[in-house]
Amino acid sequence: VCKAYTHLRRALPNMFQFVEHPDVPRTTAALESFFGQLKENISLHRGLSKRHCEEYVRWYLHFRHQTHIEKHK
């Protein structure tokens, strides 16, 4: 119980940032979904070397960023 109390006490100042900053999401669901999709895509390409996996992630992030930019033009 003591650890939980300490954890909440430390986190409390940052827990409600979305109230003052509407551009901050209320939950991490979108972020968790994004990394889940990335993890699933990487698992489809098993056998990639570490370097190729890093390059795959860079390209994945690049194309997702481009898609996001085009949606918000």
pLDDT above 90: residue 33: yes
Put simply, whether the predicted model's pTM sits higher than 0.85 gets the answer no
**What integer best gives the mean pLDDT of the chain?**
89
For residue 39 the two structure tokens come to 């993890």
Residue 42 has pLDDT above 80, yes or no: yes
pLDDT of 20 reads 87
Taking 90 as the threshold, does the pLDDT of residue 6 lie above it?
A: yes
> For the chain, what percent of residues have pLDDT higher than 90?
55
For residue 33, the tally of other CB atoms under 10 A from its CB is: 10
Question: Does the pLDDT value for residue 2 go beyond 80?
Answer: yes
- Distance between CA atoms of residues 38 and 34, nearest Å: 6
